[in-house]
A and B are shown apart, each in its own frame.
Chain A
Amino acid sequence: MLEPFQLPFVQRALVELLLLAVLAGTLGCWIVLRGLAFPAHAAAAAAFPGLVLADGLGFAAPLGGFGAALLFALAVGRLAARERSGHDTLTALVLVAALAAGIVLASDVFHSAASVESLLFGSLLAIGPGDVRLAAAAALVVLAATWVLGARWLAAGFDPSAARALGVRSPLPDTLLLVLVALGAVAVLSAVGALLATALLVVPAATTRLFSDRVVPWQLATVVLAAAEGTFGVWLAVKLNAPPGATIAVIAGAVFALVAAGRALAPRATEATA
């Protein structure tokens, strides 16, 4: 039963996932707290044409991805200050154009159509040491940033209008958060792909939010949950010969549904005991 864990590529995948779990736990909670799910999705999906271009032109893929992702996160995130979900016509349409550009580049310009699926849904079992290093770096940066800026991100999220009135709100911490969202989106790309980034960055944090009332316990719970979901997902994917990124996404969603159902059916039992 445990044979999958003896395979070297599985072991590498697990290391990657544990690092990404740290990311999912810290950054993911900020994303959910500040309502940045759509910007996170947009940043990751926007990376798709960047990756295809980088691949085709022969330079480091993460760079191409990060550039596009950053552009998107900043653009969308700024709008999120005004609109509730950060989803508005312009960004939604530009995102569609980015995806269209990506597929055109892949099919008709660089003829790399074969890699489209792994770019869109991840190739967790084929990651290299570069991907692991990127995940480690991203996790470290996010941890450090949380240490320094966490209180501010919390305050701004709690009452944006009051923060502004008190003159506390400098745009820098929030902008930095968006940069980190872009970084996180790119870091998870190799694992879950451009279209399933929210499976790691949003779903576990959303799940644990259902029973957490304080930020730090919430983040810890999310790291544990994300690690567990990732491990189980990889194991199941190897056993079933299924794509690992998608498997993790489905497991994460199923856990969310179970927790949500449990909360709805037995509210007192699942009350937070912060």
Chain B
Amino acid sequence: MTALLEAGGLAVGYGGPPVLTDVSFRLEPGERIAVLGPNGGGKTTLFRALLGELGPSTGTLSVSGRCASVPQTERSRLDFPVSALDVALMGTIPGRPWWRRPSRADRAAARAALARVDLADRAERTYGELSGGQRQRVLIARALVQDAGVLLLDEPFTGLDATSAARLEALLAELAGEGRGVLIATHDLEQARRWDRVLCVNGRQVAFGEPDEVLTPEALAATYGGAIVTLPPTHPDPTAPHRVILPPHHHHHGPAR
């Protein structure tokens, strides 16, 4: 079974010294991999390398099949005069010559994808007017229209309420069930525990493997630096597991100048 993605000793940079090094992992069909790491630690850089935006400085990266990007919805323009259907239709762009209009088949595929994510009735709504969870699903529909073998989701659960989060998880499980591979950047350790593999990055690859192997205090400390607080066990039994809590992160975007 060929891996959908395979990285060996991958290092990626933006022109200077690499900001992310020693990345070696495989994504098999049907797997969900949680990508953990602090902001600025290289998760976004990794995704850009996987999408082909950045070339590897050293090491190897082989991608069989298409990668689709499902970014945080704030990265896309919420004020664009596009409907949910228009966004889904963008997924048909790679499949036709650039001067062609979307065909009837394209439109049908876009509508089917929206139906798949339970948004068939919202197809004509303006994208920016949808809720955060709905926008996330529209972007997933776009990825489905591309018929991508690999989906890269950047913190898709941020800001979602419990119902939307559960719905999204179920959808991701379905997609994996179809033989696609899914990489999900997340900060939720409990979630990561439920999936197939975990990849920890912080300037370099800290760990990769099954959740039980990877989600140890040592690996997490190496990944998140000093940002971990360990509480004393609340249970009177001293052998009860320590709780490990990560303080909330802040997205800091400095002035563009």
The answer to whether A and B belong to the same complex is yes
A interface residues, Cβ below 8 angstroms from B: 35, 84
Tell me the smallest distance from the CB of B102 to a CB of chain A, in Å. Answer: 31
Interface size on B, residues (CB 8 A): 3
Tell me the smallest distance from the CB of A181 to a CB of chain B, in Å. Answer: 19
Number of A-B contacts (CB under 8 A): 4
Closest to A160 in B: B255
Taking CB atoms, residues of chain B closer than 8 Å to A35 are: 257
Tell me the smallest distance from the CB of B250 to a CB of chain A, in Å. Answer: 13
Give Cα A84–Cα B255 distance, bound, in whole angstroms: 9
Tell me the smallest distance from the CB of B221 to a CB of chain A, in Å. Answer: 31
Taking CB atoms, residues of chain A closer than 8 Å to B255 are: 84
**CB of B256 closer than 8 Å to a CB of A:** yes
Tell me the smallest distance from the CB of A55 to a CB of chain B, in Å. Answer: 40
Taking CB atoms, residues of chain A closer than 8 Å to B257 are: 35, 84
Taking CB atoms, residues of chain B closer than 8 Å to A84 are: 255-257
Closest to B255 in A: A84
4 intermolecular pairs with C-beta atoms under 8 Å apart: A35-B257, A84-B255, A84-B256, A84-B257
Closest to A35 in B: B257
Give Cα A84–Cα B256 distance, bound, in whole angstroms: 8
Taking CB atoms, residues of chain A closer than 8 Å to B256 are: 84
| Interface of chain B residues 205 through 257 with chain A (CB within 8 A) | 255-257
Give Cα A102–Cα B255 distance, bound, in whole angstroms: 37
Closest to B256 in A: A84
Give Cα A35–Cα B255 distance, bound, in whole angstroms: 12
Closest to A161 in B: B255
Give Cα A169–Cα B105 distance, bound, in whole angstroms: 58
Closest to A159 in B: B255
Tell me the smallest distance from the CB of A158 to a CB of chain B, in Å. Answer: 11
Tell me the smallest distance from the CB of B188 to a CB of chain A, in Å. Answer: 29
Closest to B257 in A: A84
| Interface of chain B residues 49 through 83 with chain A (CB within 8 A) | none
Give Cα A4–Cα B256 distance, bound, in whole angstroms: 47
Give Cα A236–Cα B257 distance, bound, in whole angstroms: 37
Give Cα A35–Cα B257 distance, bound, in whole angstroms: 10
Tell me the smallest distance from the CB of B71 to a CB of chain A, in Å. Answer: 23
Give Cα A35–Cα B256 distance, bound, in whole angstroms: 13
